[in-house]
A = this chain, B = another copy of it.
């Protein structure tokens, strides 16, 4: 019932990229430093994000990583599923027929509902939303306590 480290790292890494000046690339090692993520592990995560089209990567001396598409077209769900595969909150939701009780199990219905709400939330939150919010938080860390 807990997000994997990989998923958490992926979100933070994407947010890191999204909040840098868009015209300059950054480099995986620097993201790792800033976000306190094991560097070699992050290269794997970046690779998954790249394969999903969420990051674009460039090899070589002047290489690095940049967003693969506009931040408002990247959902949190996409990020997490890129590194962890499809989310399901119970085994019986992996695919229809996984559990032979589907039709008569009231718990099954509950999992369907809970999963729907969770995925909905993550699908409707974009990286752009988070980046915007990051800026607010940085400019007014004490928001709510202003004189």
Chain A residues engaging chain B, CB cutoff 8 angstroms: 1-5, 7-8, 11-12, 15, 76, 80, 84, 87-92, 103-107, 109-111, 113-114, 117-118, 121-122, 125, 129-131, 133-134, 137-138, 141
Contacts and interface: CB of A to CB of B under 8 A. Distances in A.
Contact of A114 (B106, B118, B130, B134): B118
Nearest to A111: B3
B109 A133 contact: yes
Contacts of A7: 1
Contacts of A113: 121
A88 B2 contact: yes
Contacts of A110: 76, 121, 125, 130
Contacts of A91: 2-3, 5, 8
When all copies of this chain in the complex are counted, the total is 2
Contact of A106 (B2, B88, B103, B133): B133
Given A117-B121, A118-B118, A107 B11 contact: yes
B137 A106 contact: yes
A40 B107 CA distance: 23
A118 B118 CA distance: 7
A108 to B, nearest CB: 10
Given A1-B84, A1-B89, A91-B8, A15 B107 contact: yes
Contact of A104 (B2, B118, B129, B137): B137
